[in-house]
Structure 1
Amino acid sequence: MNIGVVIRRVRAHSGQFLLLAALTLVIALLVAGVPRVANRLADQGLREHLAAEPGARRDLTYTTRPTVGAPPASGRAADLDTFQQRMPADVRAAVAHRWYAAQTPGDLVTGPDLARGNYLVQLGLRATPGIETTGTLVEGRWPAVPPDDDAPVQVALAADVAGRFGLRVGSRLRLAAPDPQHPSTPLTVVGTFRPVDPADGSWDTLPSVLQVGEPEGDGQPFILVGAVAVAALDRLAGQGRPISFTWRYRLGADGIDVRRIDQLVDGVQRLVRASTATDTELTQGVDVPLREFSQAVTSARTLLAVIAAGVLATLAGLVVLAAALAVRRRRAEFVLIRARGGGATTGLRRSLAESLLVVPPAAGLGWLLGGLLPGAPGGTGPLAVGATVLVTLALPVATLAVPSGVVGRRDLGRLRPSARRATTEAALVLLAGLAVVLLRRRGLTPGSVDPLLVSVPALVAVAASVLALRLYPWPVRLAGRLAARTRGSVAFLGTARAGRAAAATPLVVVVLAVATAAFCAVVATGIEDTRDDVATRAVPADALIRGDRLAPDTGPALERLPGVRAATGLVDESAQRLATDAAGTDARLRDTSVLLVDGPGLARTARAAGRDVPVPGPLRDARPGDGPLPAVVSPAVAADLADAGLRSAFVTVQGQRYEFTPADTVADFPLARPNTSRYVVLPWQALPRRDGPPVPTGFLVAGDRLDAGALRQAGDEGQQRYQTGGAVTGRERPRGVAVQTWSQTRLRLGGGGANGLLAFGFTAGAVAGGVLALLAVAFTVLAGARARGEVLSRLRTLGLSRRQWRGLLLVELAPLVGVAVLTGALVGVLLPLLLTPLLGLAAFTNGTPVRVGFAPGPVAATVGLGAVALGFALAVEALNNRRMRLGEVLRLGEES
């Protein structure tokens, strides 16, 4: 076939081929670019996920026990290379930084400066090659090798540590002997330093060189670590001091292939098992965050595959519509070829040549544009080739469906589906139902994208659209009968044409597009609502303060802070034993957490914070009285009490024993400790009077623009008042309180990790679904434009006004567009109910199953999309009529 002739035909029908080329380009762009964007977001999420973890959860640490007569410390640095070479390839490639250290166990140290402050200090000595580059001297110099064995060992201390104990350059110390057979060791402080970057991993070895280990109780020493030269440790080893060695390897996200996280975790586990047979112990915590991230990425990729399948199915439908529209416009050409003696394949060969001239170049351009997006390639080349072949064949296959004879007018009577079409549609509905049942019964195929999972949404959407488009003409025809009894022709003619489903088939694509957008909106809303619930269960107000024991007047002190509207106390006791009587007879049940809350105070504080926290009636309405306290218990505790035949039990709270009876069972009570299924919640306001009333261990706070620092200070002061306000004052300084805000908890749930990939999938799916829905509506309008043009031309000659013409278009198109949008929205709402339990979305909600339900936002968006689609349809119809000129349509459109 002459290429020049093919080019002339393509130019003659440039609009149709331009549309087909644009769809091909978009498909190739998505196939090539979306995996790259997904991989880039996954890599970025891994970096954020690991950066949020403490150093101990990112390190592989080889350690030896303190050994007397250890080999020279300077020679063990070469083992950094030895251990790394033994690692599996994935683990070895992930190592970003590594450090070596040799150290002595801490021994008591004395000296004039320490005696002046009456400090009890335990000092360990550590040699870390390269400390000169990671630290900056404040005073003095770095330790060097002592000139002789009798000279003091030179030590450098962190400036903040030295200043706290009054140590300075020149301070003389004496390190206690490790045993009576060896003498003590003289030390001298030769320098103080500060870290160049405190977050540098070289300072993460515990105990820390930069911080003071606080005493764990009265009479216990402070823990300090000083830096010495490597050769100094060899001298100390010769004096009989035990030496231990540490080799640390920090894994970085830049060396980790997100697609091979499972292999990396397996490699780490093999290293741990191998180290058990040696004298060197390997400790690591990196497998936990990597597994968490891998699970989240797998869930996000599965969801992204479902969304991508819906978008690609919609694009495939648009390609079919574009090919059918092109063939419909050229039907007379193909009929004339057959009338002049052309074979059955003549039109097919002509269309194939035209497609080969347009589709593959467009696909290649789309692939190149997709390759320009940042990120690792996704290996979707075969999929792109297959999609290009299918799009290339769409126009030739549509050409084969052109009838060879003369087709009469399609607007003179009702169209009834043929037996073949009815059978196909029934089979499609049955196939969708079978796929749903099969997916629910067998679940997912782990470790890969499940073909059944990604195909079920498209099948359900197509089946629902078929049913809807077969049922909708009946109410429209009923409306037409009612319109026939009214004055005016607009309503009657509009409903009469709408009742004939001549151009209804393209709206299947509209259903697919709207279902994809609605699915994204509903699942995204469900995840956000579930995260809100998780944050509210953890902090059922605006802030939660937890400590040891706080003075009861801490509540009024908190309410006096700026912005605070309400505060209520609580007591949280873990691992309490249940008893059968007041004497404390063990009920032989498992340990149970105990919460003591003021029911009315909890309800008031939650309400002041705007949180929806249902407080059970037994807690809210309980009052002091005789008999056991009404308690809210978890299902596990309720079952254990029922199995033991106990109507009531006793539990200890801060040394006081209280009797309770289960009054209500709640599966997930706010403030309950995470990962616990056993708890008892008692009403504080109903406790009987005792000599030692409970002391709050925390407070819930409601308010606006709360200052976490001020809350922390008020909590610390409350702890200090409690400790110093009694008859016996404790000497141990209490640990600082922990302040957890609702906003911080919510932000942590929705930020970092694979959430970026999840947000990209939702945004891209919703936007693509909405845009493609509008494009499919345009195809639907263009599919019946010629027939509507003929009708409007005749009616305009009979006196139909321009305003009546727009009303007629609105009445005709509104049922088609409305039923397609509503059907797609209904499918989009129902699909999450089917798929959410299978997608593993709990990885994004702290393990809580995602709750999907009715939400006004997606419903309003659907109504808005329907209105926009209808307006867009009217605009496309008006533009098409202006281009075709209604008079010419009437003159050229008749077939006789």
Structure 2
Amino acid sequence: MVSIGAAARRVRAYGGQFLLLAALTLVATLVISGVPRLVNGHAQQGLEAHLATVAPQQRDVTYSSGSLAATDNGTSLLAAHQNELVTLEAGMPPVVRRMVEQRWFSGETAVGRVRGPDLAAKNLLVDLGLRSVTGIEEAGTLVEGRWPADAPKGQPVQVTLAADVAGKLNLRVGSRLTLTPPGPATPDAPLPVQVTVVGLFQPRDGADGFWDGLPPLLRIGEPEGDGEPFIAVGVVDGTALNRQAVAGWPLTFSWRYRLGADGIDVRELDQVIDGLQQMTRETAGRNVVQGLDIPLRAFSAEVASARTVLGVIAAGVLATLTGLVVLAAGLLARRRRAEFTLLRARGGAATASAGRSLAEALLVVPPAAALGWLIGNLAPGVSGQTGWFAVAATVLVVSVLPVATLAASTGAAGRRDLVRVRPSARRLTVEAGLLLLAGLAVVLLRRRGLTPGEVDPLLVSVPVLLAVAAAVVAMRVYPWPLRLVSRLAARARGSVAFLGTARAGRSVVAVPLVVVVLAIATAAFCAVTAAGIEASRDRAASRVVPGDALIQGDRIAADTGAELERLPGVRAATPVLYEAGQRLAKDAIGTDTRLGGVTVLLVDGPALARMVREADVDVAVPAALRTPVGDAGPLPAVVSPAVAAELADAGLDGSAFVPVQGQRYEFRVAERVENFPLLRADSSRFVILPWQSLPRRDYAAVPTGFLVVGDKLDAEALRGVGDAGQSRFQTGGTVVARERPRGVEVLTFADTRRQLGEGGANGVLAFGFVAGAAGGTALGLLAIAFTVLAGARERGQVLSRLRTLGLSRRQWRGLLVVELAPLVGVSVVTGALVGTALPLLLTPVLGLSAFTDGVEVRVAFEPGLAAGVVALGAVALGFAVAVEALNNRRMRLGEVLRLGEES
């Protein structure tokens, strides 16, 4: 029967060792409980930030009906369908219903021809629709007049128009119009309606998505061709609209719901996506339009990839903690070996010492585990289902100490550093099995792949197995060169190098070496993978902006390039032309090849090559685009593999035609590339032509954008010059457009690169890398301290003897450095090599391209990593020597020699 009081006294007697075991337990359960909460918290913040960047209209779920006719039975068609706003919301899946922030209902008539004296004064042909929308008075501000109301029977229908729409149509408050129903005039057709404009309004926020709809309320629909009308929409009262339905005007209805981020839990992301898809399938006779599932799927892919990476990091950290627990338990058991031996000598059973250790562990470990669990639960974020993992970790730590006690009480107590221990056949078999298992696990993982976001046992075991296998190899290999060095040192003068290398070559460091390699491999994996992602993001940004800035618009005057180069900081500007959806032709007259549409890009190859060099971006310009102005004949073109294969099959790879701004150019396939800058990431059908080689035509190709390189570029100044160039082209021809062109878009490399590293699940990934690198380094240093303490008593005895023989304090420190340097260096270098190899093996299956805009993550050697390894090795060695010096000062070497003699 184990006495609780006696166990408590023994815990107090060996308080330092038990405190260390308790601290490791606390850290383990803190990691198990706190890290998932932090990850979920970062993911939740990322989801909210991600949804905040989504356009408001993309967060809408819209139900719509077909044309419905009313009957004069005393019921309101509009009111009956407006009541469905609540019914449809109640039928949504719960996870989607919780996200609804705003809801709107609208009913409208089809557009009909409208006439009036104000329209006739400008000779305008206009179609007008009538719409009733809930919430419009809150979303808009009256500029003049009032909002529409229900007019008495026989009076004109009151309409309120957007101020910009009314101005372009020459309408004002008081304008009288006659609205004719659409369709042919038949005896059953509704009668024309008199309409009067009673108010003008402006939106409070034209970009909040409330005003989206077809036709739009805030702008006029341009005519699609000559003789076609403008299209406008006016706001009417709901009762007036219902009266029009009774009069025979068919109505269509829509129910729109704005979804927000407040009602979504990141843990329910997949359920939300499935719910949106379910709503799309189960339409209940209505059309359903929603686009939120696309950004949610993109975010879900990022979260899944981040969780997969975190699983790898967590496996390394927890495996390192397990090794540290084993080291701590082993150190405690070895310190008490004499006690356990005496207990056996007095007739105690083989399990008596293990029972003592179990009772002591039960006094220390569970309270520490509970404390760590409680502290971890204080972390911000929603909790994860990790309770059973914490219980399993606690049981594991409790059981380690009795097992270590059994091993210590049956092991030899002699000095193992005086003989060369030959490994047993059993141990060699186990080590060979570990090497084989690690190789097999890597092969299986690469062939099988994985499901991102899930805790895959094979995935989390591969890094641990590789680290253990590498540590086993290092443990078997590194003593041999040390013994050779020791023989050479024996012939030299001085004893420090000889004694240090001899002791280092005979040291037994199986478990400590494995633990250090695990910890350093985890830290190196985080550093190398993070560097690979950063480099891949640079390439992704270079693909969008292969310079310092990119101006995109419609057609921009060619002299805009010279205007841009006059701006402060701009060194050069080159034009680009982008057109999508062009059809390839067999000849100059346009005989269709029936090969499908392509995207056409024109670039000045030599200028682009110079600019990418000046901007120092990772972009290669194909040689076919850098050809000088050539003779007559097909233009050398760079095409995508899909287009090249189709042209080759049709026998057109030597000569085909592609339209550019209405003119056809002959080209031949000169090179094939999978992708090219300035094109969309998913572009798989494109033709790129060298602008400098275009033949002369009556109408020269007009740029749709400009690529700019320079220093400290002012985006607003670039936008101003681009807008001016776009307006100059539109108003400088013989035909002048009616509408002012949409403003140009300015993308800078710095902004594009920053956007790739912000938002989404990047916070989760960054947290994992920082925590893994810092935790791996700290645990590695702790493992080195354990390694030093494990052999401290034996080294203390040797140093005591050598000090009595005249070894100076300086020589003593040198002996410590020589003895500990091989172990520290081998463990750090081996861990760094494993950590560098892991990304090469695992990156193809981790799905990290979700964080790099689809660009494949390539891990390469970083010179900074070598410097980091050297610095870490120096810090680790200094830390090891400091721990040894402090331990020797605490134990006092003379007392170690007198009281700790085991010879």
| Aligned-partner Cα distance in 1 for 2:778–2:39 | 21
In the TM superposition, residue 731 of structure 1 has moved relative to its aligned partner by: 4.8
Aligned counterpart, 1:263: 271
Match of 2:782 in 1: 775
Q: Does 1:105 pair with 2:106? A: no
1:752 aligns with 2:759: yes
More deviation in 601-610 or 662-671?
Answer: 662-671
Instruction: Report Cα offsets for 1:56-103 as digits up to 9, x if no partner.
Output: 322221111233437521232211121122223333333333221222
SS in 2 for 1:265: helix
- Check whether the contact 1:265–1:287 (CA below 8 A) recurs between aligned residues: yes
Q: Using a 3 Å threshold, how does the CA distance of structure 1 residues 134 and 719 change in structure 2: closer, same or farther?
A: closer
Tell me what 1:74 maps to.
79
Paired residue for 1:7? Answer: 8
**Equivalent residue, structure 2, for 1:85:** 90
Aligned residue for 1:127? 132
**Mapping for residues 95-494 of structure 1, pairs under 5 Å:** 95-109=100-114, 122-137=127-142, 139-146=144-151, 148-158=152-162, 170=174, 172-178=176-182, 180=185, 181-195=189-203, 200=208, 202-211=210-219, 213=221, 223-275=231-283, 278=285, 280-404=286-410, 407-445=413-451, 448-494=454-500
Residue type of the partner of 2:335? R
For 1:594 and 1:144, the matched residues in 2 are separated by 53
Take 2:618 and 2:862, find their aligned partners in 1: how far apart are those partners?
16
8 Å contact from structure 1 (residues 28, 370) kept in 2: yes
Q: Deviations over 1:138-195 (max 9, x none)?
A: 555443332x112333334455655666766555555444465544434444445555
Cα distance change, pair 727–785 in 1 and its aligned pair in 2 (3 A): same
Are the equivalent residues in 2 in contact too, given 1:139–1:193 (CA < 8 A)?
yes
Distance 1:587 1:232 in 2: 55
| Local SS of the residue matching 1:125 | strand
Q: 1:218 touches 1:731 (CA, 8 Å); kept in 2?
A: no
Tell me how far 1:274 sits from its aligned partner.
2.5
**TM superposition score normalised by structure 1:** 0.94
Classify the secondary structure of the residue corresponding to 1:402: helix
Give the Cα separation in 2 of the matches to 1:701 and 1:602: 10
What letter is aligned with 1:7? A
The verdict on how the C-alpha distance between 1:394 and 1:542 changes in structure 2, with shifts beyond 3 A counting, is same
Residue in 1 that maps onto 2:706: 699
Alignment of 1:791-810 (within 5 A): 791-810=798-817
Equivalent position SS for 1:328: helix
Q: Are residues 175 and 626 of structure 1, via their aligned partners in 2, closer, same or farther at CA, if it must alter by over 3 Å?
A: closer
* DSSP 3-state at the match of 1:255: coil
CA deviation after TM superposition for structure 1 residue 601, in Å: 0.5
Of the candidates 500, 506, 522, which is equivalent to residue 506 of structure 2? 500
The range that moved more, 705-714 or 307-316, is: 705-714
SS at match of 1:10: helix
Which residue does the alignment assign to 1:834? 841
How do 1:596-611 residues align onto structure 2 when only pairs under 5 Å count?
596-611=602-617
Matched, 1:663 2:670: yes
Three-state SS of the structure 1 residue aligned to 2:902 is: coil
Q: Contact (CA 8 Å) 1:579, 1:649: kept in 2 or not? A: no
Mapping for residues 23-42 of structure 1, pairs under 5 Å: 23-42=24-43
CA distance in 2: counterparts of 1:101 and 1:352, whole angstroms: 73
Quick check: 1:338–1:404 contact (8 Å CA) kept in 2? no
Work out whether 1:861 is the aligned partner of 2:862.
no
2:746 partner SS: strand
Aligned-partner Cα distance in 2 for 1:8–1:619: 83
- Shift of residue 892, structure 1, vs aligned partner: 1.8
**Corresponding residue for 2:821?**
814
Mapped partners of 2:455, 2:612: distance in 1: 43
Aligned to 2:644: 638
The one-letter code of the counterpart of 1:34 is: V
Deviation at 1:557, TM superposition (A): 1.1
User: 1:542-621, aligned counterparts within 5 Å?
Assistant: 542-580=548-586, 586-621=592-627
Distance verdict in 2 for CA 1:76–1:630, change over 3 Å = closer
Structure 2 gap ranges (5+) = none
Corresponding residue SS for 1:378: coil
Per the TM alignment, residue 580 of structure 1 is displaced from its structure 2 partner at its CA by 4.8
- 2:892 alignment partner in structure 1: 885
CA contact (8 A) 1:98 1:247 kept: yes
CA shift, 1:328, in A, is 1.2
C-alpha deviation, 1:360, in angstroms: 0.5
SS of aligned partner of 1:506: helix
Query: For residues 173 and 287 of structure 1, what CA distance do their matches in structure 2 show?
Result: 43
- The 1:194–1:698 alpha-carbon spacing in structure 2 relative to 1, beyond 3 Å, is closer
Give CA-to-partner distance per residue, 1:821-844, whole Å, 9 cap, x none.
Answer: 111111111111111111111222
The residue type equivalent to 2:724 in the other structure is E
- C-alpha change, 1:287 and 1:558, in structure 2 (3 Å) is same
Aligned to 1:45: 46
Which is worse superposed, 60-69 or 380-389?
60-69
Matching residue's letter, 1:372: L
Change (3 A) 1:198 1:738: closer
Give the Cα–Cα distance (whole angstroms) in 1 for the partners of residues 146 and 664 of structure 2.
61
Q: Distance in 2 between matches of 1:283 and 1:155?
A: 28
The more displaced of 576-585 and 334-343 is 576-585
Q: Distance in 1 between matches of 2:495 and 2:442?
A: 46
Q: Which letter maps to 1:264?
A: V
Cα separation, partners in 2 of 1:657 and 1:184, compared to 1, 3 Å: closer
Higher mean C-alpha displacement, 479-488 vs 827-836: 479-488
Counterpart CA distance in 1 for 2:347 and 2:219 is: 95
- Residue 874 of structure 1 corresponds to 881
CA distance in 1, matches of 2:297, 2:527: 28
Q: Indicate the SS of the match to 1:244.
A: strand
Cα deviation code 1:484-536 (max 9, x no counterpart): 22222221111111111323530211110111111111111111111111111
Q: What letter corresponds to residue 569 of structure 1 in structure 2?
A: P
Mark the runs of 5 or more structure 1 residues left unpaired by the alignment.
none
Identity in percent: 66
Describe the SS at the equivalent of 2:39.
helix
Once the 2 structures are TM-superposed, how far is the Cα of residue 370 of structure 1 from its aligned partner?
A: 1.3
Decide whether the 8 Å contact of 1:66 with 1:243 is kept in 2.
yes
Counterpart CA distance in 1 for 2:737 and 2:237 is 41
Residue 61 of structure 1: aligned partner: 62
Q: Deviations over 1:206-258 (max 9, x none)?
A: 44444555566666655544333221211222333222211112222332333
The more displaced of 319-328 and 95-104 is 95-104
Distance change >3 Å, CA 704–CA 119, structure 1 → 2? farther
Aligned-partner residue type, residue 711 of structure 1:
L
1:401 is paired with a residue of what secondary structure? helix
CA RMSD in angstroms comes to 2.6
